Structures are given as C-alpha cells and as structure tokens.
Chains A and B, each alone.
Chain A
Amino acid sequence: MYPISRRMTLQAALAVAGVLALPGYAVAQEPTVKVAYTQSRSGPFAPGAQTTQEPNYLLWADQVNAAGGLNVQGKKRKIELIGVDDRSDMETIVRSYEKFMTTDKVDIVLPPWGTGANFAVAPVANKHGYPMVAPTALSQKLVDMKLPYYFVTLQQPKPMMNALVDMLAANGVKTVTVAYMDDLFGLENIGALEPALQAKGIKILDKKSYPLGVKDLSTMLKGMKTANPDAFVGITYPPDNFLITGQSKEIGFAPKIFYTAVGTAFPIYRERMGKASEGTMGMGSWNPKMSKAAKTYFDAHVALNKREPDRWASAHAWAALEIIQQTVEKVGLDRKAMRDHIAKTEFDTVLGKMKFNGTEEVGVPGMVGQWQNGEFEIVWPPARATAKAVVPKTWN
C-alpha cells in the first residue's frame, strides 16, 4: 500500500466533490421519502425478525437508492430508512409507531415482525391512516378485524392446511399424528387442519400440544411411534423443529411424511439438521428455481446480507415492499390514495400475482415445501411445484 499523501487526499476529495456536484444539484431538490419501522434486534422475536424481515427492508432501500431513488409518480426520491430496535416489547412497539405517525410524520411505515406485534400496531396504523402491508402476521382473527388500512401478504392457516391435506391425500396417507404449539398459531392451524383431514377421510391417531420453550418431547414422540402413522404433522416454530426432528431420529420415529411448520424453510434448519433435514416438509412459498424474479431476489439478498433468505415469509416481505413501491409510483404518497390502490389492484410480485380481498391476500395459494438436496422445493400444489414430493422421507 502506498502511503496516502496530502495531495492524493486533495485530489480524491476534489474528484468526489465533482462527481457529487453534477447529479447532486438535481437530487437535492427532491426531499427524501421517510420510511420508518421497528424490528426486533434483541429479545425473543429477534431470530425471526432478523431472518425474515429486516434484511429485506435493508436490501430494498439499498436497491431503490442505488437506482436513483423511489419513483414517486415519476419523480425519483431517495429513501431515508428509519429503523429502530423494538426489544420484542409490545409497549415499545406501539409507542414507536405512534412516534413515527404523529411526531415524525413519516411518509411510509413498514410493519414489525410477528403476529402479536402486528395485532398491536394494525389498529394504530388504521387510526392514523397509514397503509401497512405485513408479511409476518398469521391469524384469522387479525383478518377478521377488517381494518381498511391493513393488509397481509402471508397465506393464512386455512389455505396452508388445505394444501397440506391435499398433498397428504395425493400421497396415499391414511393416518396422521399431530403435535402443535399451545398458542394462537397452533390452535388456529389445528382448527383448519382437523376438518380438512376429516373431509379427506384421514384419521388422526394421536394429537398432542406442548408449551412454548419446551425442552423435551421424547415421551410424546415415543407415543406417536407406537401409533405408527403414515405421516406426522407438527404445527411448530423454529426451536421446536430442531427438537422434534432430532428426537424423532433418536428414538427411531420415522413416518414416511414428516411435516414441521414455521421455520422449516429457514436455511438454518438445513444447516443444523444436516442429513436429517432431507425430505422434511414444511410451510414454504418459493425458492430461487421458481422464476427469474425469484432468482434475482435470492442473489441480491445473498450479496447484501451475506446469507440466504428463508423460503417462506422472506419473499412475502419482499412482495410487500414491491406492492408499496408500485403503489407509490402510481399514486404518490397520499395515504388514502395508496390504501385505495392497494385494496383494488392486482400486483406483480416475486411470488406472482397478488391481490387483496379485504385484509387477506388471495392470489398466492397455500403451498407445501420439502428439503431436497439442499433446496427447499415446492412440492404442492402441482401448478406451483418445482419438484415432485420425495416419499418416504430419508432419515439417515
């Protein structure tokens, strides 16, 4: 390395100033677009938020600004991203969004991570007339609140469970055992799963619930091993996925179809479980093989964040940002106009066509994914499949 001389520094400074001066003149005239959000960087929500949501916000702002800014009805304006840690604390989340909407009067707000946080923020956004398009909220109750300014891009329990049951039936499954988490997510999914199984004549041999933070499920799994079902369905979260998969392998519970719900599509599941991840099915919507747009998104995500996006809600987060971007391009930053545009328009996104019926997105169907040779392939429905389901699952 050459030592940096004063002359070189001067030359560099002049060059930078010169480069900045040219477009700077034009850019300086357009104010920035303030986009604010909270994400959990600490606390129990942090792993989910930092896998699925915040990397997408950063990528989006980076890409849009690199292309000259956000297109606001033909005018390019730079995005000023205001992101703060919400400590996974409800009161902090509510307070921060109140600040964004009333004191800071930002142009756009992006949602926080998780169903509980979205429940807390959705009415606030609605009250202050800020449209919000959320990727990580999963509850029929939230949809049923019918808040006009609030939209969810993620598939809700019913389409997801219907897709799962259709896939089970197509693979000749006659019996299942079910484990689910003791919370709203678990109960709503069970509520959707049971009638769907009944309609297809699939019998539930055993059904057990467990609390958040459980450390041992071997007794439950041994019971299920004795029941010897064709398939296992776990309505689970990331930490329990590792536990259930690992302990099933240990005790030799090896049904031919093995399904765990949220977080199966996280790359960390593949990394932590290694061989045992092969053939595990779970909630997913996409992978880079699905389309050119998906591949572009995947590569950009890896390039900026140095890690892969998850194969379910990450793309829904990206799609939510695409929807915001297309809306602003069309109608500008008038929030009422934005809301009306989002409510009635069909959008082109990384996941294909998206359209809202009230709060719920109805363009993207429920899907089932499966880890096959290191990729989370979409195996159901056939119209969206990137590979055929591999049954039975390999365990060793």
Chain B
Amino acid sequence: MKQGTLFLIAAVVVATALAALPAVASPFVQSMALTCLMFAGLAVSWSMFSGPTGYLSLASSAFFGLGAYCTAWGLAYLPWPVVVMAGGLAATLFAFLIGLVVLRLRGAYFAVITYGLGELVKHTITHVEKTYAGTVGRVMTDTPSSNVVYWTVLIIALLAVFTYVRFGRSRYGHALRGIGMDEERAATLGVNPMRVKLLGFCLSAWFAGALGAAIAVRWTYIDPNTVFNPFIVFQTVLISMVGGPLTIGGPLVGALVFSLLSEFLRLSLPYLYMILLGVLLIVSVLYLPNGLAGHDWRGTWQKFFKRKKADVQVTEQRHE
C-alpha cells in the first residue's frame, strides 16, 4: 500500500513536469523528450503483452503504420483526438483479426509471422492507395502544433504506463503470466489462453497505433516505407529487452537510456556510434539478461564486494 502511494505520487510529479516541459524547455529538448516518450510508449505497450507471455511480437511496426495512415486519411475531415483514437482502434481491429490466427503459433514462428504481417499490410496499403486513390505517399497539411503533438504523445505514454500497471495486477494479467510460464498448465487451471492472449495483444496494439497516428503529422509526408519501417519495432524490442520487460521501470528506463545515448553518440561520435551502440547491446544482453531494471544489482554488488573480501578472509565466504 505504501509503495503504491509512493508510486502514484512519483508518477503525478513526473507527469506534471513532463506536461510543463514545452513552457520551459527549448524546442530541441522538447523534441528529444518526444522521441523518448514515443519509444517509452511503444516499449511499454510491447512489454504489456510480450513481457509476461514471452511471445516475441514484431507487429508493432504494422500497428504504428496503420495508425499513421489513419491520420493521413482522416486528418482533413476529423478532429485531432478522434483521429488519434481511430488510429489506435484500427491497430486494435487489425490485432484482433490476425490474433485469431497467429496467436496459435509460438516461439520463432510467431515472431516471423508477425513480422511478415507487417510487410503484408505495407504492400496491401500500397496496392489499395495506388489502385483507388492514384497515389502512394500522402501529404498532411494543417497539422496540429508541435505542443499538441507532444501532449498527445505524453498522454498516450502515460495511459500505456497506467494500463500496464493495472492490467498486470488484474486477473487477466495474472493469467497472461501463467500462460507465459506454462500455457498448458494455465489452460488446465481454467484459463482460456486464446481469449486472454487476444485481449493482451489487442490492448497493446491500441497504444502502438495511437502513437503512430500522433507522431505521423510531424513528417508532413508519409509513405508505406517510412511508417512501416521495421526499425521501429526492432528498436522497441531492443529497448524493452535492455530495460527489462517484466517491470514497468524496464521499458521506461530503457527508452530513456537508449534515446539519450543514441542521440548523444550520434552527435558526438558520428562515425563510431553504431559500433558503440552494438557493443553496448551485446554487453547488456550477455550480462543483463533481465534488463537494466530487472537485474539483481544488489547481487552483483555483493558478488563483486565479496570477491574482493575473499582475498583476505577466505573463511567468511562459507557462511553464505
């Protein structure tokens, strides 16, 4: 209870500070924060489903792109909040339809097919646009101001965090974790795995879609190759993995560290940053398998501390 209150207070303080950012920070800091928030939102929404179940979904790019296309189609006719909601709903609907089929697969098969579906959506949209609209890319004029985009992304990211926590504690969250540990056993114990997985998958899709819808207006022009960019999902998965998808702190810390670090390295070491980033990722996968947030830092510290002591007092070690 006490911890919960503390978390709530911290969340309110951080949210207020972030919401007030456009008033005090430079546009660059603001757009940096926007990138962090976008990846935080994506990583949290990804972890919502893939964290507990262990199903490695690569569909985030498809969700993101669908949301972006909803904005491109609807921005001229619908009010901004409706457009963003619709972007999320389109992704949810898509997740529901494909979920019925792909959630029957597991492991590498699931990862590959979710990735393939992203490509399928990309080419479908290309074909539909070309055949019926006579265009492929779309230009968005009269876009909302950068502050509005920022606040929208902030709200979606906060909603994602809130949902992650609430969902994780709910009956369904427990059921999802149960499925991750042993799907057959969970089913024997009365959980309907398909229904629970579908719910988690659809829920996580909404955030990715809404984020795509919100962020797309910053680019003025979108085409399938920009918004169905597989790097969006690769980065999302990396962030979640590096941060650790099993706690809410994981994707958040991961997004913050990853965005700031890659920006810092890009600007200060332009020819080395990719190599450094790669090395860092390898190191974190090898030595932090549970992510930054999930790692047993105390254990590492003790191990390190003890090894030093061990040189002097060998007998002490036996008490452990």
Interface residues of A (CB under 8 A from B): 41-42, 84-85, 87, 89-92, 94-95, 98-99, 102-103, 115-116, 119-120, 122-123, 139, 141-142, 145, 182-184, 186-187, 209, 211-212
Contact A184 B223 (CB under 8 A): yes
Is A98 within 8 A of B223, CB to CB?
A: no
Do A211 and B126 touch (CB < 8 A)? yes
Report which of A89, A122, A184, A211 forms a contact with B137, defined as CB distance below 8 A: A184
Q: Are A91 and B130 in contact (CB under 8 A)?
A: no
Main secondary structure of the interface of B (DSSP, over half): helix
Determine chain A's interface SS by DSSP, over half rule. Answer: helix
B residues near A94, Cβ cutoff 8 Å: 31, 218-219
How many Å lie between the Cα of A145 and that of B142 in the bound state? 11
Flag if A116 contacts B226 (CB, 8 Å): yes
Across-interface contacts of B226 in A (CB, < 8 A): 90, 116
**In the complex, chain B residues 187-239 whose Cβ is within 8 Å of any chain A Cβ:** 215, 218-221, 223, 225-226, 229, 231
Inside 8 A of B120's CB, which chain A residues have their CB? none
| Cross-chain contact B266 with A116 (CB below 8 angstroms) | no
Instruction: Out of B143, B225, B231, B270, name the residue touching A84 (CB < 8 Å).
Output: B270
User: Interface 1/0s, chain B 141-165, versus A by CB < 8 A?
Assistant: 1010000000000000000000000
The answer to whether B220 touches A123 (Cβ under 8 A) is: yes
Q: A98-B31, A120-B220, A122-B220 are in contact. Are A183 and B225 (CB under 8 A)?
A: yes
Chain A nearest CB from B150 CB (Å) reads 12
Chain B: residues with Cβ within 8 Å of the partner, total of: 35
| Chain B residues near A103 (CB-CB < 8 A) | 26-29
Q: For residue A141, which residues in chain B have a CB less than 8 angstroms away from its CB?
A: 137, 139, 221
Bound-state Cα–Cα, A332 to B229, Å:
41
In the complex, whether B9 has a CB less than 8 A from a CB of chain A is: no
Map CB proximity to A onto B108-133 as digits: 1 under 8 Å, 0 otherwise: 00000000000000010010001000
Give, as a whole number of angstroms, the nearest-CB distance from B232 to chain A.
9
Q: Quote the shortest CB–CB distance from A182 to chain B (angstroms).
A: 6
For A211, list chain B residues within 8 Å (CB): 123, 126
Chain B residues contacting A139 (CB-CB under 8 Å) are: 137
A41 contacts which chain B residues (CB < 8 A)?
270-271
With A98-B28, A102-B28, A122-B220 as known contacts, state yes or no: A116 contacts B270, CB within 8 Å.
no
Q: Is the CB of B126 within 8 A of A182?
A: yes
Minimum CB–CB distance for A358 against chain B, Å = 16
